[in-house]
């Protein structure tokens, strides 16, 4: 296990391999206390390859488990989204099975899974109270009670986007844990990004709160359309005018809507997405120079890119190249 960070965020990373149902269950129950594995018989074993990264209020988990597995989970006090990818198995709740090609979510309802062979499991687990607080800030609804209304994703595309986000958040948190410097800004942004992707992918009371917002002006639905457009086109040379057009509103209206819904501007939001992309590319240590990476992500002036980057990540782009 390793840990790093500061400013209220410490990344705890766990990587292990284990054999036997007891070891598997004990590891999983550290993150979701209700997790249970039912061992099918004395001659059947389990092989586990596990990696997780946790910060305050969020755990990102990925593991591969081989064996004849029967499991159950009931995430009390937690918001959990998970995908169990297996060729020979099922996942579901009473009277309903889920598509194993897609993730599912729960804010307390029990779910079960079973497989023979190997399954790859990915999960994001949030402290429900903390997630609810953030959802209230994002929606502007101080009375929001955060709950999952339907465990299935709203679409296959959103489910796939959630899975890509989970993989990115886990790898970025693991990388942050290896840094000697505090990356609290990055870790806080990753937590918010993970929660937003989860709330966007599934039908929740958060989405209902956005729909019924009584604030005057453009509806939060327009903000969500704008965010979806930016996230899908972040590497393209789009402008804020393009974003506004995708949301069916004026640029000025979009700016006002972002201020009300997210307390930021669309320009700052898009810049943050592009900085995150540049940050990951610099960490990967490719042959590109800092200036080339900056241009790839839409920053024409390396000096301005460096200033924005330092403000967000607390160090220079060249320092990221050297340290990884």
pLDDT of residue 298: 78
Neighbours of 245 (CB within 10 A): 16
CB 109 within 8 A of CB 148: yes
Alpha-helical runs (H) found in 140-219: 156-177, 184-201, 205-211
For residue 164, which of 128, 131, 201 has the smallest C-alpha distance?
201
3-state secondary structure of 82: strand
Identify the CATH homologous superfamily for domain 183-323.
Homeodomain-like (1.10.10.60)
Angle at 5 between CA 32 and CA 126, to 5 degrees: 25
Cα–Cα distance measured from residue 220 to residue 226, given in angstroms and rounded to the nearest whole number: 10
Distance between CA atoms of residues 201 and 68, nearest Å? 30
What is the pLDDT tens value at each position of the chain, 324 positions in all?
Answer: 555 544 446 889 999 888 877 777 788 788 878 887 775 555 557 788 999 999 999 999 999 988 888 888 888 899 999 999 998 888 887 778 888 889 999 998 888 898 888 899 999 999 999 999 888 777 767 778 899 988 999 899 999 999 999 999 999 899 888 876 555 656 777 888 899 899 989 989 887 777 665 344 444 788 888 988 888 888 777 888 888 888 888 888 888 888 888 888 898 888 888 888 888 888 888 888 898 888 888 786 788 889 998 888 888 898 888 876
21, 80, 271, 314 from 162: Cα distances, Å: 29, 12, 21, 27
In this chain, the answer to whether the domains covering 2-153 and 183-323 adopt an identical fold is no
Neighbours of 284 (CB within 10 A): 12
Question: Is the separation of the CB atoms in 65 and 103 below 8 Å?
Answer: no
Report how far apart, in Å, the C-alpha atoms of 34 and of each of 13, 76, 108, 310 are.
21, 8, 10, 42
Q: Report d(CA 19, CA 225) in Å as an integer.
A: 46
Domain boundaries, the chain: 2-153, 183-323
**How does DSSP classify residue 263?**
S
Q: Is 32 in a helix, a strand, or coil?
A: coil
List residues bridging with 126 in a β-sheet: 58, 79
- 63 strand-pairing partners: 50, 121
- φ and ψ at residue 28, rounded to 5 degrees: -65, -35
- Reading the block at residue 16, the tokens are 């292990």
Distance CA 157, CA 152 (A): 12
Q: Looking at domain 2-153, does it have CATH number 2.60.120.10?
A: yes
Are 123 and 80 spatial neighbours (Cβ–Cβ below 8 Å)?
yes
Q: Which of 19, 42, 27, 44 is nearest to 116 (CA)?
A: 44
Report pLDDT for 280.
83
Q: Cβ distance 196 to 36 under 8 Å?
A: no
How far apart CA 315 and CA 72 sit, in angstroms, is 44
């Amino acid at each position: 296990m390793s840990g790093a960070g500061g400013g209220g965020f410490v990344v705890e990373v766990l990587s292990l391999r284990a054999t036997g149902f007891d070891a598997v269950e004990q590891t999983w129950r550290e993150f979701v206390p209700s997790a249970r594995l039912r061992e099918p018989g004395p001659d059947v074993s389990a092989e586990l390859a596990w990696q997780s990264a946790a910060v305050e209020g969020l755990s990102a988990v990925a593991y591969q488990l081989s064996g004849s597995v029967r499991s159950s989970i009931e995430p009390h006090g937690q918001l959990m989204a998970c995908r169990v990818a297996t060729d020979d198995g099922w996942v579901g709740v009473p009277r309903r099975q889920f598509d194993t090609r897609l993730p599912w979510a729960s804010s307390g309802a029990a779910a079960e899974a079973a497989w023979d062979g190997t399954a790859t499991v990915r999960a994001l687990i949030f402290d429900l109270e903390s997630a609810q607080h953030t959802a209230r800030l994002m929606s502007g609804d101080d009375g929001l009670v955060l709950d999952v209304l339907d465990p299935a994703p709203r679409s296959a595309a959103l489910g796939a986007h959630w899975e890509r986000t989970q993989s990115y958040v886990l790898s970025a948190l693991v990388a942050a844990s290896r840094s000697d410097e505090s990356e609290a800004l990055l870790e806080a942004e990753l937590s918010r990004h993970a929660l937003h992707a989860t709330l966007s992918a599934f039908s929740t009371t958060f989405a209902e709160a956005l729909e019924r917002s009584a604030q005057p002006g453009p509806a939060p639905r327009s903000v969500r359309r704008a965010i979806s457009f930016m996230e899908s086109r972040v590497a393209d040379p789009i402008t804020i005018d393009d974003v506004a057009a995708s949301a069916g509103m004026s640029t000025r209206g979009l700016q006002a809507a972002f201020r009300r819904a997210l307390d930021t501007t669309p320009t700052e939001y898009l810049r943050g997405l592009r900085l995150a992309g540049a940050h990951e590319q610099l960490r990967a240590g490719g042959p590109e120079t800092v200036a080339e990476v900056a241009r790839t992500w839409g920053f024409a002036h390396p000096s301005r890119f460096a200033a924005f980057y330092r403000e967000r990540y607390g160090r220079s782009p060249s320092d990221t190249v050297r340290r990884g």
